[in-house]
Amino acid sequence: MIKSVSLHNEVLYNQYLELRWLLLRKPLGGIRGTEIDSMESESFHKAAFDSNGNMIGVGRIHFSGNIAQIRYMAIVKQFRSKGFGSKLIKELEKVAVKNDIKKIFLNSRIKAVDFYLKNGYNKKKSVKPSFGDIIHYRMEKIF
């Protein structure tokens, strides 16, 4: 199940940030806090839950004018390749479409490129990572 995470729900939002950090920053040596950027309060946040109600994935979208960017997509390792990531990205895309956004872009880690291709994103150029030294590619989807 995919649910929205509100910044006003402090407990859930902290759990969401912790999972984002655990999956995306801690493995690269990032301390707690490195998982946040300046767009948090302007973003839409979604989390995936397993059948026991445990949070097992996170993802975020924010808008810059009429373009949206998806960031911080990650699923707990043992739940990968079960479709949770695709469900999560579809829910983030719905937020963009509802807000009349016609283009979404993201900077994908090299290992996740196939996942985004599968979800309809086109691979553009390589880009400098915002954190760490993993090769990233800009990917875009037009609606």
Ligand X SMILES: CC(C)(COP(=O)(O)OP(=O)(O)OC[C@H]1O[C@@H](n2cnc3c(N)ncnc32)[C@H](O)[C@@H]1OP(=O)(O)O)[C@@H](O)C(=O)NCCC(=O)NCCS
CA separation for the pair 32, 20 (Å, rounded): 10
Distance CA 125, CA 66 (A): 21
Q: Which of 19, 44, 85, 104 binds ligand X (CB under 6 A)?
A: 85
- Site residues (CB under 6 A) for ligand X, limited to 114-133: 114-115, 118
Q: Which residues contact 99 (CB under 8 A, 6 or more apart)?
A: 63, 68
> Rounded to the nearest whole angstrom, what is the least distance from the CB of residue 8 to ligand X in the complex?
26
Residue 105 within binding range of ligand X, rule CB under 6 A: no
Please report whether residue 27 would count as binding ligand X according to CB under 6 A: no
Residues that bind ligand X (CB under 6 A): 23, 73-75, 80-86, 108-109, 111-112, 114-115, 118
